[in-house]
Structure formats: structure tokens, C-alpha cells
Amino acid sequence: MKDIKKYFNSYFSTIKSRLDLIDINQLEEAINLIKRVSKLGNKVIIVGNGGSASIASHLTVDFINAAKIKAINFNESSIITCFANDYGYEHWVSKALEYYANYGDIVILVSSSGQSENMLIAANKAKSIGVEVVTFSGFHSNNPLRKLGNINFWVNSNAYNIVEMTHHIWLLSIVDYIIEEKKW
């Protein structure tokens, strides 16, 4: 049996080290993009699969309620199952973007592996309709999603929970900065 203190010290140290690898310039770019989109009356769309979908839900609520920025996600099961059934799982996000995204919106695509086909197709769809793309991925540094965004955040880890928690904190830090900036 592992030493519990040693395990958790190592675990939290790993998360902290990944968090600290953030490029502050990228955070500033993302913040400026979100503020510009919001100022023009457009919206932020956040999409993910599994745990990343949960991150999308949390972020959507914070954008809307705390930051007063229009935001949506596609976590309604009837939308997912309808589009997945009619167009294939790999196309459901791009179909949702086709119906819900407008020119000038921004989509934040969250994928731990950066290889989810539905996210890759969605990134290309977003670009084709004039929607800015911000990606959050992990695992391999050359993952395909990381190459498709206007701004691309990447976590150097192959562990789902490390990647997802880092994404979550980075994304919430963007929201919190926007909230605080409005108070100044």
C-alpha cells in the first residue's frame, strides 16, 4: 500500500506544476477575444466530451451569471443524441454549431486527448462559419486539436484528471479575471 501523504503530495505537486506552465500571454489573448466577442453582442460556446462536458457546463454558468457574458454549451442529451443519431457521433458538434453558432462567436473546445474526432470536425466547421476557436487539450504535444485553434492551450500530461483539472482551473481563471476586471 502506498503512503497516503506521499501520494497526495505528489499528486497536488503534479497539478501545481502543470498549472504553472500556463502562458500568461495566451490567457490575455483569450480574455481579449472573449471580451471583444461579448462587446459585439456575440456569445461563447463551450463544448467537451465526458468530464470536459462537465467543465463546459460549469464554465457556461459562470460566464452567464457571474461575468454577464452570453454563453451556451451543448450538454442537452436530446441535442447530442439527435445529432449523433442523424449525422454520426463524429459530426454532432459540428451540426450543433451549424444551428447555434453565429459569425463572430467563439467556441472553446475542450478535449483531454486532443484527438476526439467530433472536436476536430467542429473546429474546422467553426472556422468555416467565422467562429473563433480556442482549444484546450493535453496528452501529446502534437495532438491534432492543438493545431486547429486561434489560441491553443495544452497540458503536458497523459493523465485525464490532471489534464481536466488543469483545464478547469485555467478556464475559471479567465472568467474570474473578467469578473474582477469589471469591478475596477
What are the structural domain ranges in the chain? 4-183
- C-alpha–C-alpha distance, residues 154 and 142, integer Å: 10
pLDDT value at 92 more than 80 = yes
Helix (H, G, I), strand (E, B), or coil: what is residue 107? strand
Closest of 111, 24, 94, 102 to residue 70, by C-alpha:
102
Average pLDDT over residues 58-69: 97
Rounded percentage of the chain residues whose pLDDT exceeds 90: 97
The model's confidence at residue 1, banded by pLDDT at 50, 70 and 90, is: low
**DSSP assignment of 30-89, as one string?**
HHHHHHHHHHTT--EEEEESTHHHHHHHHHHHIIIIIS---EEE---HHHHHHHHHHH-G
pLDDT value at 153 more than 80 = yes
Average pLDDT over residues 89-113: 97
Q: How many residues can be counted in the chain?
A: 184
- C-alpha–C-alpha distance, residues 46 and 3, integer Å: 39
The model's confidence at residue 183, banded by pLDDT at 50, 70 and 90, is: confident
- Output the CATH code of domain 4-183: 3.40.50.10490
The tens digit of pLDDT for each residue in 9-53 reads: 999 999 999 999 999 999 999 999 999 999 999 999 999 999 999
pLDDT of 118 reads 98
Average pLDDT over residues 162-183: 96
In which residue are the cell numbers 459530426 written? Answer: 91
Rounded percentage of the chain residues whose pLDDT exceeds 70: 99
* The Cα angle at residue 154 between residues 149 and 160, in degrees rounded to 5: 120
pLDDT value at 184 more than 90 = no
Phi, then psi, of 37 in degrees rounded to 5: -60, -45
**pTM tops 0.85:** yes
pLDDT of 104 reads 97
